[in-house]
Chain A
Amino acid sequence: GAVVSQHPSWVICKSGTSVKIECRSLDFQATTMFWYRQFPKQSLMLMATSNEGSKATYEQGVEKDKFLINHASLTLSTLTVTSAHPEDSSFYICSAIGPVGGANQPQHFGDGTRLSIL
């Protein structure tokens, strides 16, 4: 149980284009989803937290107009990197928790998306 699917797993695109990443909870209702960024040999850095049906809460230093997050249903959240540039190249990972257990339950992660901007 508690499976999170992330798509695509790898994307390469030209500078200036927008890229959408999907995160789906396959066997539970994800009341809260999280988006992280991870640089090589570094830990996960939280970018934003989204609750179904409401606006995402962004961490300090994360541009909300650059990284658009939509959590329109209990099983799907999307992250759109708008007008992507080479410095946006990174490994993006989503995670989700369900309604039982509150914020103290473990997050379940997708397999990440490797984004490379040329």
Chain B
Amino acid sequence: EDQVTQSPEALRLQEGESSSLNCSYTVSGLRGLFWYRQDPGKGPEFLFTLYSAGEEKEKERLKATLTKKESFLHITAPKPEDSATYLCAVQAPSELSFGAGTTVTVRA
């Protein structure tokens, strides 16, 4: 059974304090790994797609990387507006599986 596990569940950061979120997965035939940002009461907002190990994508203070077993979302010098729940999702041949998310709170 395909599984996607995100850690930690929650992360509290001081503004400017860089950190990383982890998404580990066990799927057969990875077709793609997606990162989304979800604000309270809203739908997920697409951030990145990664397709193969070694691939990296960047957007402002966020950088996503992918290995054969996990993906990391690095947040560099976060600001309060980066506070959100970050979801990863893994596309296998037959389905898309979501992790439970990491809720990031950045204090000014």
**Interface residues of A, Cβ cutoff 8 Å to B:** 2, 4, 6, 41-44, 46, 91, 93-95, 103-112, 114
A67 CB, nearest partner CB in chain B, Å: 18
B45 CB contacts on chain A under 8 angstroms: 109
For the complex, count residues of B whose C-beta is within 8 A of A: 20
In whole angstroms, what is the CA distance A95 to B101 when docked?
Answer: 18
A46 with B42: CB separation less than 8 A: no
Residue from the list B36, B41, B43, B99 in contact with A110, Cβ < 8 A: B43
In whole angstroms, what is the CA distance A112 to B34 when docked?
Answer: 19
In whole angstroms, what is the CA distance A46 to B92 when docked?
Answer: 14
Given contacts A43-B98, A111-B42, could you give 15 more A-B pairs where the C-beta distance is less than 8 Å? A4-B43, A6-B43, A42-B100, A44-B87, A44-B98, A95-B43, A104-B51, A105-B49, A106-B32, A107-B46, A107-B96, A109-B46, A111-B41, A112-B41, A112-B43
Report if A103-B31 is in contact (Cβ < 8 Å); known contacts: A42-B100, A44-B44: yes
Q: Mark B42-61, 1 if CB is under 8 A from A, else 0.
A: 11111001010000000000
A105 CB contacts on chain B under 8 angstroms: 49
A106 with B43: CB separation less than 8 A: no
Residue from the list A6, A42, A46, A114 in contact with B96, Cβ < 8 A: A46
In whole angstroms, what is the CA distance A2 to B47 when docked?
Answer: 13
B95 CB contacts on chain A under 8 angstroms: 46
B42 with A112: CB separation less than 8 A: yes
A94 CB contacts on chain B under 8 angstroms: 43
Q: Is B26 an interface residue (CB 8 A)?
A: no
B55 CB, nearest partner CB in chain A, Å: 14
Q: Is B91 an interface residue (CB 8 A)?
A: yes
Q: List 6 A-B pairs, Cβ < 8 Å.
A: A93-B44, A103-B31, A104-B91, A109-B43, A109-B45, A111-B42
Q: Of residues A42, A91, A105, A110, which shows the largest number of chain B Cβ atoms within 10 Å of its Cβ?
A: A105
Q: Which 7 pairs between the two chains have the least Cβ-Cβ distance? A: A109-B43, A43-B98, A104-B31, A43-B100, A111-B43, A112-B43, A104-B32
